[in-house]
Amino acid sequence: MMIKKCLFPAAGYGTRFLPATKSMPKEMMPVVNKPLIEYGVDEAIQAGITGMCIVTGRGKHSIMDHFDMNYELEHQIRGTNKEELLVDIRKIIETANFTFIRQREMKGLGHAILTGKELVGDEPFAVVLADDLCVNEQQGVLAQMVALYKQFRCSIVAVQEVPENETHKYGVIAGEMIKDDLFRVDNMVEKPEPGTAPSNLAIIGRYILTPDIFDLIEQTEPGKGGEIQITDALLKQAKAGCVLAYKFKGKRFDCGSVEGYIEATNFCYENMYKKNDQKVELAKQSTHKGQ
């Protein structure tokens, strides 16, 4: 079965960005001229996914508004050069279908994914954590993972190597390499104590999950802080069948941290916005010359 839907857990408070996130969802924080979550939606569309399932929370209405038409704004800028600034978001709205559900309690990533069950249904699906902005000049990270899913038909997590002194910030996997950059998972630990990580391969915010994950999450006991971790459910899945870890091609920015957010903004400005601006200007000059 093809991957048709992508789940976006977006109910968190974004406390590391207070006071900015007191009234604005962290997913709507701009990276140059687009909100963070839009980069994730773009990546999903590039992977051939059109069903966007967003798990929201209190005070997140602006996410719903962003992925909807704004007729007053459209009318106000119609016929001006500002109209072209909405071209990209119009394409997204026309291409993708958006559904929303509210997560009433913050009980960890596993619980957020379980909350999206009724939006996803009984089919394999992708998960994107908008905090992780991933870019690649050619095939996006999610597209790389969808291609692998077509071959292996099992859950897949994206991983990257991190310094040993940072493994305590992540879920970390260990496993057998079955080909370049692809591992069969046999162990997975959420935020291991310093010096106890099974490897330096850290899980980042891209997943392909098979629908049996929902039953496994329901069977998972809450851990530290009452949170239900997706890594616990994935480890059960790995022991019972197969979970793959894929060391993806591309760059990843941790926009959940101030440093990572600034790095992502600088990168996107220099490598996306600026270059696109230059292309638009050249196109205008070419049009004027042809008149």
Write down the pLDDT at residue 273: 81
Assess whether pLDDT exceeds 80 at residue 286. no
User: Looking at the domain assignment, is residue 265 inside a domain?
Assistant: no
Mean of per-residue pLDDT scores for the chain: 89
Mean pLDDT confidence for 242-266: 95
The 10s digit of each residue's pLDDT in 106-160 is 899 999 999 999 999 999 999 999 999 999 988 999 999 999 999 999 999 999 9
Q: What is the mean pLDDT of residues 183-187?
A: 94
| Residue at 277 is within a domain | no
283, pLDDT greater than 70: no
Kindly state whether residue 242 falls inside one of the protein's structural domains.
yes
pLDDT at site 278: 52
Q: Is residue 286 part of a domain?
A: no
> Residue 195: which pLDDT band, with cuts at 50, 70 and 90?
confident
pLDDT at position 90 over 90: no
Q: What is the CATH number of the domain that holds 164?
A: 3.90.550.10
Read off the pLDDT band of 288 (50, 70, 90).
very low
Let me know the angle formed at the C-alpha of 166 by 134 and 242, rounded to the nearest 5 degrees: 65
Res 165 pLDDT > 80? yes
Please state, for a pLDDT cut of 70, what percent of the chain lies above it: 94
280 in any annotated domain: no
Which pLDDT belongs to residue 287? 41
Query: pLDDT tens for residues 50-82?
Result: 999 999 998 899 999 999 888 788 778 887 877
- β-sheet bridge partners, residue 33: none
Residue 185 and residue 175 in contact, taking contact as beta carbons nearer than 8 Å: yes
Per-residue confidence (pLDDT) for residue 70, from 0 to 100: 80
The answer to whether position 287 is within a domain reads no
Average pLDDT for 91-97: 93
| Model confidence, pTM | 0.90
In a domain, 270, yes or no: no
**Is 291 inside any structural domain?**
no
Nearest-5° angle of CA 24, CA 130, CA 173? 140
Q: Which domain holds residue 20?
A: 5-260
Number of domains in the chain: 1
Considering only CA atoms, which of 22, 254, 221, 11 is closest in space to residue 131? 254
